Chains A and B, each alone.
Chain A
Amino acid sequence: MNRERAETYLRLLAEAELRDPSLPAPRSGDAPFVTAAIDVTRAAWALTVVGVLDLETAEAILADVELALSVRYRPPATVMAPARLGPGHFAGGRPLTRMSHLMPGLPAPASGPVPPDGADRYVPVGQMILFHDERVSGELDVMSYAHTAGGARFTAVWRTRDPLGARHHALPPVEAFSLADDRGQRYGLEFAANGRPGSSCDLILHPDPPPDIGWLEITAPGERAVRVDLARRAERPEPHVSQVTLSSGEHLLTRIAERLLALAPEHRMHWQPQLATAKLARPVANLATGLGATVAALEAAEVLPPLSPVPARLAGLCASLGIDDHGIAAAPALDLPEPWLSLLAHYHRRKPEAAPAGDGFAAVAAALPDLEGIRLVLLGLHNYDGGTWMEALVRGQLPDPRQRVLGLDMAFPVSMWVRDGTGRWHAARPAGWFHGADEAALTLRLTPPLTRSCAWLDVLATGQSAEVRATVPLCWGFPL
């Protein structure tokens, strides 16, 4: 890793941009401000994400580039205006370039301590709790129970309907639920959707129960009590941990590739080769733009080995997706990783519109071995509205996620894939998370969604230094 070369590369890239003869052309006739070229911003982003350049320096360089460009701006020749900046052409109304709101935090430090497992308790549940009152009815599909130093909670999916039976978006009235344990202690529930997008949630128990309770009885409005057996323990999958040696640059490029693979079906790209020249969906094109500069910046910073196969694989993936303007100098490779090929094959050879599995939820509670300074605990899987979501708890300190760049969550330091019972791979990418003290609620979205309710999943989690493979059994329940 060479910080000085990284910064020098970025500054020289900015110099080259200023020499660009197309510089005077604004982005559009009424562009309110001028921004740095995509190559410069992508290189800055990549160097910051891999930790070779600090955010403050990157922001300062981009701010200088923006200002340098804006003071050189001239209206297009067709516009009858004096050859000077008009007030509207300054970024004067906005602060200097800020990357921090765009940048993911740095990957979690590998040395960051994961809280000891100790009395942590993860229990698969798989029970449906019905409720109804005069305003709303519905169900809570409870997938798991987890009790850590951060507290005790159920992880569940919720659905509500109004009195006429139509789907309704009111929250379940959990404040009206009553809970009691096997010792007669009573609890209240707090509804928390932080880090749980869509219809999933955590139901936090107050006060914190003893660590060894045997069961909890939940009584919802208008329904009989349901006993949740907590004697079952979390699955302890026999994981296979192997060492990998990915540089931080290779890890970043791999994550970009996975994001491309996930984006393409979301934006219904044309997969048939004869349609490969069709215009790319904007998010896909945005993500692919500047990849050449990203690769060059990582090489300059010595965080991407010159002989690394990853740029060629990324170029190969772009070729498969019909992306031409990526700028990667390496010739496209054909030996793409198995999960990538699986996803490509799925969309190339089969109908992407194949019906996903019906709504359902699976009880899961499986703790994976520590990886990249975090421990991932799977707490549920559910299909809903054509999507598949995996609920999880992350133990250890994740960095502040901030806003994602192009949907890429680099603050989550692990690449996740799952393989279903038919051998098909699904990319699992963060769809939301929320930080507690030493843990975060995390929801992963599977692409493509599951098409059947398989009995188990192979989970593949890859960090920079190690890879974990584990088989996780699923116990499905289905909503009414």
Chain B
Amino acid sequence: MSVLPNDRWFDCLPGWQTQLPCGTGRHIVRWAAGSLDLPSHPDVEGELVLAALGGDRPRCVDLAQAWARHADDLSVLAIGPRGPQDRIVVDWDDVLAAEQAGEMAAGPASSMPMRLASPSGPTVARAGARRRQMQAERLKSQQRRNDVLSLLALGYGFQVRLIGQVAAAHASLDGGAQVRPALVAAITGRLAPVAEEWLGIDPDQVVVDLHPARSWGSSELAGYGPDRRLRISLPAGWLASVWACGLARVGRYLIVGVLEPGWPRARVLGLRSPGAEPEPLDVRADPDGQLDVPHWEI
């Protein structure tokens, strides 16, 4: 049974927005249908030109660029939340503090230790090149860290939408063995707490395999006691179209795919128990409820 194409993964998610400090005020950042929008900055290109000429670059613009840089970054899956209970607490003061700390750490490198024998010219040159390389790597990792902290500071609603975007980007590609470990871990980390609620199973007993096809996958519960295992095979797109949309568990069902996306109504595939055939289910979200990630009911 085919499930939702990855390029429409966000159809079950309503738009979402937040505010962030930018310049001397607070500006709105909005997400809708898979895109980030900066209503307070209608001319981003022009502001980038001004910044290149020495002006301040608005934080909103920085943030949009960070979002684009990390839209297929698997680290987002490793760092981001595993579920609604796994709240990440980063605010803009934290981001600012990390940026300042990074600038201080990027100071001049310490001098070389004294050695008994004088190093040769090529040795000194190699050491200099190595220091420059380390400095470049440090700046790059600091930039990456600041990016990720900024994206996390947007809050849970944006965090899950970015996770959905990253997962969808990789679900539509065949990244092979290079990306499978990260995707398996990302699904495991998010499915395990859901499975615990669904079956009462220890999260450490959930074993995930990456399902390569467009169909939903398979599931099996085997063993007893400490040897009990829920073995489940899911496509990477599950993270985007199901988990990121708040659909992972609806009622007593584990949702394994989306047949007809939409908000506030959708048609999904749900598993009543491991090993069973998934059932088509009509689900609806409360349009007046919390919308960072919708709550669905059958």
Q: Find out whether the CB atom of A67 lies under 8 angstroms from the CB atom of B185.
A: no
A193 contacts the other chain (Cβ, under 8 Å)?
A: yes
Residues of A within 8 A of B257 (CB): none
Q: A192 touching B185 by the CB < 8 A rule?
A: no
Chain A residues with a Cβ closer than 8 Å to the other chain, count? 39
Partner of B189 from the list A18, A61, A87, A93 (CB cut-off 8 Å) is: A18
Contacts of A71 in B (CB 8 A): 79, 88-90, 149, 152
Contact segment of B174-182, B230-238, B242-250 = B174-182
* Given known contacts A15-B189, A191-B116, A87 and B93 CB-to-CB distance under 8 angstroms: yes
Residues of chain B from 217 to 269 with CB closer than 8 A to chain A in the complex: none
- Check A3 for interface membership: any CB of B closer than 8 A: yes
Among A6-14, A217-225, A377-385, the stretch that binds chain B is: A6-14
Does A452 sit at the interface, judged by CB under 8 A?
no
Where the two chains meet, the residues of B that have a C-beta atom closer than 8 Å to any C-beta of A are 75, 78-79, 82, 86, 88-91, 93-94, 97-102, 104-105, 115-117, 137-138, 141-142, 144-145, 148-149, 152, 177, 180-182, 184-185, 188-189, 192-193, 203-204
* B98 vs chain A, min Cβ distance (A): 3
Contact A87–B105 (Cβ < 8 Å): no
Known: A71-B88, A194-B117. A87 touches B101 (CB 8 A): yes
- A8-B184 CB under 8 A given contacts A19-B192, A68-B79: yes
- Whether A87 touches B97, Cβ cut-off 8 Å, given contacts A94-B105, A95-B105, is yes
Q: Which of B104, B116, B189 contacts A194 (CB 8 A)?
A: B116
Q: By the criterion CB–CB under 8 Å, are A12 and B185 in contact?
A: yes
Min Cβ gap A347→B in Å is 36
Docked Cα-Cα span, A87 to B182, in Å, equals 29
* CB-based contact A12/B116 at 8 Å: no
CB contact under 8 A between A194 and B115, given known A92-B102, A93-B102, A95-B138: yes
Residue among A67, A71, A193 having the largest count of chain B Cβ atoms under 10 Å: A71
Q: Are A93 and B192 in contact, with the CB atoms below 8 A? A: no
Most buried by A among B79, B100, B188, B192: B79
Chain B hits for A86, CB < 8 A = 94, 97
Residue of A nearest to B118 (CB): A190
**Shortest distance from the beta carbon of A153 to any chain B beta carbon, whole Å:** 12
Contacting residues, chain A, for B78 (C-beta < 8 A): 11, 14, 61, 64-65, 68
Known: A61-B78, A65-B78, A96-B141. A83 touches B182 (CB 8 A): no
Contacts of B144 in A (CB 8 A): 96
| Residues of A with C-beta under 8 A to B117 | 190-194
Q: Are A96 and B145 in contact (CB under 8 A)?
A: yes
Task: Give complex CA distance A87, B90 in Å.
Answer: 10
Q: Is the CB of B98 within 8 A of A87?
A: yes
Known: A7-B181, A19-B204; 9 extra A-B contacts, CB below 8 A, are A12-B188, A15-B185, A67-B145, A72-B86, A74-B89, A86-B94, A92-B102, A96-B145, A193-B117
Nearest neighbor of B202 in chain A, beta-carbon distance: A19
CB-based closest 9 A-B pairs: A87-B97, A92-B98, A11-B185, A92-B101, A93-B101, A7-B181, A64-B78, A8-B181, A96-B141
CB within 8 Å of B: which of A55-96?
Answer: 60-61, 63-65, 67-68, 71-72, 74, 83-87, 90, 92-96
A84/B101 in contact, CB under 8 A: no
A197 to chain B, nearest CB (A): 12
Assess the B189–A90 pair: CB atoms within 8 A.
no
Chain B residues in 8 Å Cβ range of A238: none
Residues in chain A within 8 A of chain B (CB atoms): 3-4, 7-8, 10-12, 14-16, 18-19, 60-61, 63-65, 67-68, 71-72, 74, 83-87, 90, 92-96, 171, 190-194
CB of B116 within 8 A of CB of A192, answer yes
Please report whether the interface of chain B is mostly helix, strand, loop or mixed according to DSSP.
helix
* B72: min CB distance to chain A, Å: 15
How distant is the Cα of A193 from the Cα of B117 in the complex, in angstroms? 8
Which chain B residue lies CB-closest to A2?
Answer: B177
Which partner residue on chain B sits nearest A53 by CB separation?
A: B181
Give the residue of B94, B152, B180 whose beta carbon is less than 8 angstroms from that of A8: B180
Q: A4-B180, A11-B185, A68-B78 are in contact. Are A93 and B88 (CB under 8 A)?
A: no
With A12-B188, A85-B90: A93-B145 Cβ-Cβ less than 8 Å: no
Q: List 25 A-B contacts (CB under 8 A).
A: A4-B177, A10-B181, A12-B188, A15-B192, A16-B204, A18-B189, A19-B192, A19-B203, A63-B75, A64-B79, A67-B145, A68-B78, A84-B89, A85-B90, A86-B94, A87-B93, A90-B149, A92-B100, A92-B145, A92-B149, A93-B102, A95-B138, A190-B117, A192-B116, A194-B115
In the assembled complex, the CB of A146 is this many whole angstroms from the nearest CB of chain B, namely: 17
- In-complex Cβ contact of B104 among A15, A93, A192 (8 A): A93
B116 → chain A closest CB, angstroms: 5
CB nearest to B82 among chain A residues: A18
Known: A64-B78, A64-B79. A11 touches B90 (CB 8 A): no
Q: Kindly list chain B residues whose C-beta atoms are within 8 Å of the C-beta of A94.
A: 105
Residue of A nearest to B106 (CB): A95
A12 and B94 in contact (CB under 8 A), knowing A64-B75, A194-B117? no
Contacts of A18 in B (CB 8 A): 82, 86, 189
Q: Using Cβ atoms and an 8 Å threshold, which residues of chain A touch B88? A: 71-72
Most buried by A among B116, B142, B149, B181: B181
Closest to B116 in A: A193
- Docked-complex contact A15 and B141, CB < 8 angstroms: no
Cα distance A383–B78 when bound, in Å? 52
Q: Which residue on chain A has the smallest CB distance to residue B105?
A: A93
Nearest Cβ in chain A — how far from B149, in angstroms?
A: 7
**Given A64-B79, A67-B79, A71-B88, CB of A8 within 8 Å of CB of B185:** yes
Nearest A residue to B152 via CB reads A71
Q: Give the contacting residue for A11; candidates B97, B102, B105, B184; CB below 8 A.
A: B184
CA A178 – CA B219 in complex, angstroms? 82
Query: Chain B CB within 10 Å — which of A94, A95, A171 has the most?
Result: A95
Contacts of A8 in B (CB 8 A): 180-181, 184-185
Cα distance A81–B93 in the bound complex, in angstroms: 15
Give the distance to chain A from B278, nearest Cβ to Cβ, in Å. 25
With CB as the reference atom, state the residue of chain A lying closest to B138: A95
Output the nearest chain A residue to B184 by Cβ-Cβ distance.
A8
Q: A11-B184, A15-B185 are in contact. Are A84 and B145 (CB under 8 A)?
A: no
Q: Which among A4, A7, A14, A90 is the interface contact of B98 at CB below 8 angstroms? A: A90
Q: Shortest distance in angstroms between B12's beta carbon and chain A's nearest beta carbon? A: 25
Q: In whole angstroms, how far apart are the Cα atoms of A190 and B141 in the complex?
A: 42
Q: Which residue of B lies closest to A190 (CB)?
A: B117
Minimum C-beta distance from A177 to chain B (A): 16
Q: In the assembled complex, which residues on chain A have CB atoms less than 8 Å from the CB atom of B93?
A: 87
User: In whole angstroms, what is the CA distance A87 to B149 when docked?
Assistant: 12
Q: How far is the CA of A42 from the CA of B137 in the complex (A)?
A: 23
In the complex the two chains form, what is the Cα distance from A60 to B51 in whole Å? 31
Q: How far is the CB of A53 from chain B (nearest CB, A)?
A: 10
